[in-house]
Homo-oligomer: A and B are copies of this chain.
């Protein structure tokens, strides 16, 4: 890997390496979820979820669509799905 790729890759990993954000990504593996639904699962405040979602959006990992006053989030980058899948296989073989 070139240094630029190292930089880009480490930014990506950093954005995935917060427990709340990693959990959000796991939750979004197979379905889209609203901010409120995410908040229930990760047990924190709306504002906090929103902040973390923004970081993931900034990385281009997730996208959202609006419906009424709900915002549904989903993973846009297929590679992220694959990467998380690989992590599961390697490190959590029982699931």
Q: How many copies does the complex hold?
A: 2
DSSP majority for the A interface? Answer: helix
| Most chain B beta-carbon neighbours within 10 Å: one of A11, A16, A22, A82 | A22
A14 at the binding interface (Cβ < 8 Å): yes
A82: B residues at CB distance < 8 A: 86, 90
Is the CB–CB distance between A17 and B26 below 8 Å? no
Interface size on A, residues (CB 8 A): 31
- A19–B62 CA distance with the chains assembled, in angstroms: 23
Say which residue of B1, B2, B87 sits within 8 Å of A9 (CB atoms): B87
Is the CB–CB distance between A10 and B1 below 8 Å? no
The interface bits of chain A over 24-54 (1 if a CB of B lies within 8 angstroms of the residue's CB, else 0) are 0010000000000000000000000000000
